[in-house]
Amino acid sequence: MNKDVLPVVRDERTIAVENASYRWSNVIFVVGLLADIEYRIWFLHNHSCWDLFMLLIIGGNIPTIIQLRERVLMRDMARLLVFTAVIAAVLAAGVAVVFSQHVHR
């Protein structure tokens, strides 16, 4: 066996540490993106933020899509996700209607 090429040992602890590091990376990314959106909304009034919101939405749904495709997501969790998405869409539509009426006054 070559001394320069050692086998990589991947136990449960290694996988847990890797997943935790991915979580922190994602948290920093999302908070930074939301801070950029807030800055654009409050200080740069002529800039649209929808492209950044779409990055957040798509990036947040990728793990769920992969888990659904690989059938590792429990059925109850899938139902809860659909229910949450429907409630979020209804609330977003309500907020959009309220703000559009407020702007047109």
pLDDT digits (tens, 9 = 90+) for 7-49: 666 678 777 887 888 888 888 888 988 898 888 888 887 777 8
Same domain, 15 and 28: yes
Same domain, 1 and 22: yes
Backbone angles phi, psi at 16, to 5 degrees: -65, -40
Q: What is the residue range of 55's domain?
A: 1-73
Same domain, 51 and 93: no
Q: Give pLDDT, residue 67.
A: 77
Is the Cβ–Cβ distance between 17 and 1 less than 8 Å? no
pLDDT digits (tens, 9 = 90+) for 42-86: 888 777 788 888 888 888 888 878 877 877 777 788 788 889 989
Same domain, 26 and 36: yes
**Statement: residue 6 has pLDDT above 70:** no
Q: How many domains does the chain have?
A: 2
Is the Cβ–Cβ distance between 34 and 53 less than 8 Å? no
What six digits make up the tokens of 76?
């109850």
